[in-house]
Amino acid sequence: MKTMRLGRSDLFVPPLAVGCMRLNRLNPAEATYFLHSALDLGLNFFDHADIYGDGSCEEQFSRAIHISADLREKIILQSKCGICKGYYDFSRAHILAAVDGILQRLQTDYLDVLLLHRPDALMEPEEVADAFDQLHASGKVRYFGVSNQKPAQIKLLQQSLRQPLLVDQLQLSLPHAGLIANGLNVNMLNAQAADHDGSILDFCRLQQITVQAWSPMQYGFFEGVFLGNPKFAALNQVISRLAAQYQVPDSSIALAWILRHPAHIQPVTGTMNLAHLKASRLAADLTLTRPEWYELYQAAGYELP
């Protein structure tokens, strides 16, 4: 499996990240089997957040993977902080305390990547910079990024940081592809021309920031999966035909559509089902043609001007 560079760093990662948001739904034996099976598939990038299960997913991970010094060097751990109950907090004190909690739950001395989770309207960039400097100097965090931020927010933060922001984690799937659609409807008056994100996709490409696609199998905001959903009959018909053509599961086609984009987007899987994870892995070796990519885009309900 090919690897990809994370942002402008010297860190090379798999084209898929294993999302651990639902890891606490597995019992210890199931979690151990799932995580080590992921490693056997070459998927060694694990995405966490301190809010997932109120920290229980990170605890489950450390217990299940049986981490050792040798294994720690072979895996890539990413986590996120900043979401609290009823508010967001990017203060220096909160970031430092959150990382200490994450490291304790994951039973590791350092994170490979720390993301700020959702924008904080009360963010003071200088406080974030102080926190990042301390975390980086102490060796607790190697690299940094954000989640769900648009270009102006990233630029505002980056001007105070010594470390480059390498990642922006954004929702993206076939039915939730507004960040692609608005770029195809330039100077149009139709609904798909609406730019809700400040052309974040092009911005990230220009700044060499890796877009990580969360909920790549979902539509709406956690409304459910679109595969097999009668709301997306036309899309599923095309997906099923291409899946039969390439002899892969339907979910492989849905992920291959994201991976085909030249921005080198890294989808974050959310499944705790090993068969589904294997299907995700197949997508990494599948390259859709340009006509196939556009056919899927239009079947998802988007129009070409």
The pLDDT of residue 222? 81
Q: In the prediction, which pLDDT does 266 show? A: 98
Mean pLDDT to the nearest integer, 12-28 = 97
What is the CA 139 to chain-centroid distance, rounded?
A: 23
Whether the pLDDT of residue 237 is over 90: the answer is: yes
305 located within any domain: no
Given a cut of 90, whether residue 198 has pLDDT beyond it is yes
Supply the pLDDT for residue 221.
Answer: 84
Specify if 53 maps to a domain. Answer: yes
Question: For residue 212, what are the CA distances in angstroms to 12, 77, 171, 268?
Answer: 14, 14, 8, 6
Q: Which one, of 289, 225, 277, 279, lies nearest residue 250 by Cα?
A: 279
Residue 301: what are its φ and ψ, rounded to 5°?
110, 5
- Parent domain of 218: 4-299
Quick one: what percent of the chain has pLDDT higher than 70? 100
pLDDT of residue 67: 86
Between CA 201 and CA 179 the distance in angstroms is 6
Q: Give the residue-averaged pLDDT of 1-7.
A: 95
The answer to whether residue 109 sits within a structural domain is: yes
Indicate if the pLDDT at residue 65 is higher than 90.
Answer: yes
Alpha carbon distance 6, 228 (integer Å): 33
Decide if 304 is inside a domain.
Answer: no
Q: What is the pLDDT of residues 252-276, one digit of tens each?
A: 999 999 999 999 999 999 999 999 9
Is the pLDDT at 286 greater than 90? The verdict is yes
Model pTM score = 0.96
Tell me what percent of the residues of the chain surpass a pLDDT of 90: 97
* Residue type present at position 106: L
Report the number of distinct structural domains present in the chain: 1
Q: Which of 33, 52, 294, 302 is catalytic?
A: 52
What string of H, E and C letters represents the secondary structure of the chain?
CCCEECCCCCCEECCCEEECCCHHHCCHHHHHHHHHHHHHCCCCEEECCCCHHHHHHHHHHHHHHCCCHHHHCCCEEEEEECEECCEECCCHHHHHHHHHHHHHHHCCCCEEEEEEECCCCCCCHHHHHHHHHHHHHCCCEEEEEEECCCHHHHHHHHCCCCCCEEEEEEECCCCCCHHHHHHHCCCCCCHHHCCCCCCHHHHHHHHCCEEEEECCCEECCCCEECCCCHHHHHHHHHHHHHHHHHCCCHHHHHHHHHHCCCCCCEEEECCCCHHHHHHHHHHCCCCCCHHHHHHHHHHCCCCCC
Asked, for residue 165, whether it belongs to a domain, the answer is: yes
Res 284: pLDDT: 96
Confidence of residue 223 (pLDDT cuts 50, 70, 90): confident
In a domain, 28, yes or no: yes
Determine, yes or no, domain membership for 131. Answer: yes
In this predicted structure, what is the pLDDT of residue 1?
A: 86
52 is catalytic: yes
Q: What is the mean pLDDT of residues 6-31?
A: 97
Residue type at position 269: T
pLDDT at 37: 98
Q: Given pLDDT bands bounded at 50, 70 and 90, which one contains residue 148?
A: very high
Q: Above 90 in pLDDT, residue 244?
A: yes
Reported as a pLDDT band with limits 50, 70 and 90, residue 302 is very high
CATH classification of the domain holding 182: 3.20.20.100
Q: Is 66 left (phi over 0), alpha (psi -120 to 50) or beta?
A: left
